[in-house]
Amino acid sequence: MVDAVERLVNLALFLAAARGPVSAEQVRAEVIGYPEGQDEAAFLRMFERDKDELRGLGLAIEATPDGRYRLDAERTFVSGLDLAPEDEAALRAAAVVLLDDPSFPFAGDLRYALAKVSGIADLDVPAAAHLADEHPEAQGETAATLAASAAACKRVTFVYTNTAGRSAPHTVEPYGLFLNAGRWYLVGRDTVRQEERVYAVARMEDITPNTARPRSTDFERPVDFDVSEYIGLPFQYGPGELFDAVVKFAPSVTWRAPALTGGAGELRPEGDDLCWHVTARDAARLARWVIAHGPGLAIESPPEAVDLARSGLAGVADAHA
């Protein structure tokens, strides 16, 4: 069965190859992906949606006075772009990795862009890298759905399981997504709690975009919204209350501090050591983060995180005798 992305690619290629305007009936008969036996009204609705989708991706599809359709190549495809061999090789290398990655949610958009820029449409070289390291295919599909809802400013509902294992339904106005430490995250406004929140895509189930009034928007994204402002460290996500933490860098590893902290919190010299004052929500994740990036790092506060780090290190020592 042909999926929606493949049908859209087939339609785009059909229109690009046509020597003149084509009718809806020609599309229905010759483009692979439109279901056989589909009644005319259902086909026309699907065809209209597909045209709108392709136009949104930058393809200039025009209707002729006699009710047929043509692709304006001059307005659609990049002209006069001559890539050097090393630039095209770099483009292909990056594209191979992303198109082979099931956690990359914008594969369709990338294929259209590659076709418009350099005629690269099919890259069948396998790649091993994944953007998301936890359920990459599920994250990719979900992120693509959420990205489409964010672009159209349509609400989504889903069941979310927090780090404490509690599940609850949420209705959210999706503002944007970001990728961090192998996970996709959604930033949006929870309509029940009336506040902006960050949700891990891997913890979502039963995602349902609002399909009512598809040509209208459900909300307005704040004009000053910047998704990068929500990118944090692993221990800064979760349902817990914010607390202040202090992590000490020994003199031998202070050179690593700027890269590890990523600009979050504040680094303060205290004697021979460098102390990092940062906010957190999850003491266990903070302890795991410090252990993973040690030696030379130690939690100074809060006491709960100190105890968790000590017990974690003791467990590692016991396991390795």
What's the pLDDT tens digit per position in 37-75?
888 899 999 999 888 888 887 888 998 888 899 988 777
Q: What is the DSSP letter of 68?
A: -
> Which pLDDT score, from 0 to 100, does residue 125 have?
47
Query: Region 273-277: what's the mean pLDDT?
Result: 92
CA distance linking residue 305 with residue 279, whole number of Å: 13
pLDDT surpasses 80 at 92 = no
H/E element, 193: none
The whole-model pTM stands at 0.59
**Residue 218 and residue 259: Cα distance in Å, rounded?**
40
pLDDT value of residue 99: 75
- Name the pLDDT band for 190 (thresholds 50, 70, 90): very high
Q: Is the dihedral of CA 155, 131, 59, 23 positive or negative?
A: negative
The pLDDT assigned to 118 comes to 55
CA distance 11 to 32: 8
- Supply the mean pLDDT for the chain: 83
For the CA atoms of 26, 31, 37, 42, what is the dihedral angle to 10 degrees? -80
**Per-residue pLDDT band at 266 (split at 50, 70, 90):** very high
